[in-house]
A and B are shown apart, each in its own frame.
Chain A
Amino acid sequence: MIRFAGDSGDGMQITGNQFTDTTAKVGNDLATFPDFPAEIRAPAGTRAGVSGFQIRFSSTDIYTAGDIPDVLVAMNAAALIVNYKDVAPGGIIIANTGNFTERDLQKAKLATNPLEDGTLDGYRVIAIDINARVTEALQGSPLTSKDVLRCKNFYVLGLMYWLYSRPIEPTLEWLAAKFAKKPELADANQTALRAGYNSGDIHEVFQGRYEVVPVENALPGTYRNIMGNHAVALGLVAGAELAGLKLFLGSYPITPATDILQHLSELKEFGVITCQMEDEIAGICTAIGASYAGMLGCTTTSGPGLALKTEAIGLAIMTELPLVIVDVQRAGPSTGLPTKVEQADLLQSLFGRNSDAPLPIVSCATPADAFDCAVEACRIAVQYMTPVILLSDNYIANGAEPWRLPDMDKLPRFPAVHVTDTAGYAPYSRDAKLARPWAVPGTPGLEHRIGGLEKEHITGNVSHNPENHQLMSEMRRDKVLGVRDTIPTPEVSGPEKADLLVVGWGSTFGAIRSGTERLRREQNVSVAHLHLRHLWPLAHGLDEIFARYKQILVPELNMGQLSRLLQGEYPDHRFLHYGKVKGKPFTAREIREKITAVLEAKS
């Protein structure tokens, strides 16, 4: 659902009507609610003068619940303030900053600028000076500057067409016919439409809205809306604090991970250091250098960036330094579909390095879960002196949901130890978890050398001894496998025994959970859901769980990655892969239909 809101004079009705016509041509079901201002002549720029047009449409692909807009186009400050509360959490707000001047704020009775004062936390705000962009696009047009500005509704319409993959041709034709006698007007509006359409690419706007799983009986507590990337940022800060460390982020901007870098760069008073480096390799290498110096090093990226970091991850594995690597997955390969969702970096995370280079992998299920998972990644990194990959994706990153706020005092701490005792110190001695001691430069008497060359067990001297390499390779493997002793066996949702178990990971959580619950509730289907947060090592007890179900289905937004991993690890069971790589999340309906089909095929 989209709501266009602006001044009565802004042409919102025309914009809405055009979008409706085009959408109808594309073949969607739709419903529109034009909403005229009560006072047709209310003063421009005031709250009373706001005019709106709302369009709701759906197809079998797009499913949105309720009457809440996913996108609000606010042509001025008044339009924003009157409408923003109706927008779904995580929805897109496109604001024309050209009409947010001091005077516009005054007219809208606003003391501070809602674009800057935190009012819009939890929304995806796209602030564009549409007045300026339209003026630029229409440079050299014979129209007066006032008339030029009147074309801005077509700029917005163009952007909406891009966002919802609608053709612009019908409107181009409509303009040509309508202004047949005034070709300069037709021309100007067409140019504005094209400019708006092209701007979509530049802003890399993520399409679609995160579907919040409806919860019955929400737990008591304090809630707020949070988006996935923001939750990761907060989780990293919290994780560092729980470890008693300061956080260091070395990163390079890439959609859809950039927000994490942006959020963390605001938190200087937490002692967070953010370095925007020259590339992804430098991002991770500075983080490794910072961990070496005793901070909690972290790097954030998406799939293409993870590929670049490969060799350095191996270095962190070899030097056994704590490091958190966040991969906000997007559809690939290569540049792929940068604004679309996919969960196809699992095998890259597991195996995408030279030689045997094991590391733990954690993945988040929902925007709120991203906080807990980031904390968990920090815990493992610090307790086991290892790099950890945290997998998120585009859908979680840009999705929002209510987050039940944790009681920070009750979160378990996992204090990191920077050793200082020189007695018996050896760089590659190990504790019960097989972690080596963390001695940081600046500590007298513990001067030592680490690096990518294989090191001798205990002493840490360079070693080419064949037996030692075997031993150290086993140590690295066993250390990471040992993480499973500190993770719980995941709980199955649904019956303990059933005809079908659906196993998922990452952002498919919501669709699988609501799909399976509904089938049980409404059709009494014998199905259960198991969600895996830890993808490596896999938790204890999974074998026993799998044994209790007649069939196992693994839906994933890829061509078969978790299913392959599980098939290799648990060869006694059979894992049915159900994949989708359309740049879109699963809907609950797709999951239900697949489950029904699988069960029918069997019977």
Chain B
Amino acid sequence: MSAKPKVAFFEFTSCEGCQLTVVDSLQDHPELLDAIEIVNFREAISRRDHDYQIAFIEGSCSRPSDEATLKAIRAQAGMVIELGACAHLGGINTIRNRQNLDDVRHYVYGDKADWYETYPARPIHAVIDVDAAIPGCPIDRDEFIMAVTQLLQGRMPQIPDHPLCIECKLKENVCVYQRGMTCLGPIIRAGCDAICPTYGDGCEGCRGMISNPNFDSLREVLAEHGMSEDAIKAKLTMFLTYQMMDRGGIGDDNGATNA
């Protein structure tokens, strides 16, 4: 890629935590600003410029009016990259996909429900083609810097596709299962430095499943460790609702209506 590519950041349904992580990555890598020209970053830059080569998209698509904006970004950018779990998996926004969305709107906004358009939250690649994804909720600073470095070298970001457990073992963590807790590590993509188990929490799956998860065996393990069917479903639908639906469902009652 030739000198100083123009880079734009966009957010859809998100908490802006991934963009904040981009800002935070400057703490250790201020030289990033010498390597790219950021032309669009609403969180931190007031100027807008619609001439860019690389677009990082944070957030899920959760309303019909988002689609045109996404298509315009796709038409402009040579490279579109999903930034974080909301964009990559639909993120926690997809939790509500399993409920009746009219009810959801009324529950939160009462008689003003009609002011708030919405439909089932989806990852960005469900709406437009994307070239790569940087997973995580939020993204990992080092992985972001690594991804940008690789893009500048003309390579695609190399995101691990092996289970978190491997990374967790390399950190010499005591497995949280040994401490009477549960963890999605065996089916989740490594790359976050196993941060949750390292700090004593089970993995919640924010980086999404690896491409060949041993799913049935994980369900068995969760059940063996005392989780009820409902608890297992909850665990598999915090970040993974959309991926689960893609796999053919959650084995659900209330049936992922996407109403």
Whether A associates with B in a native complex is no
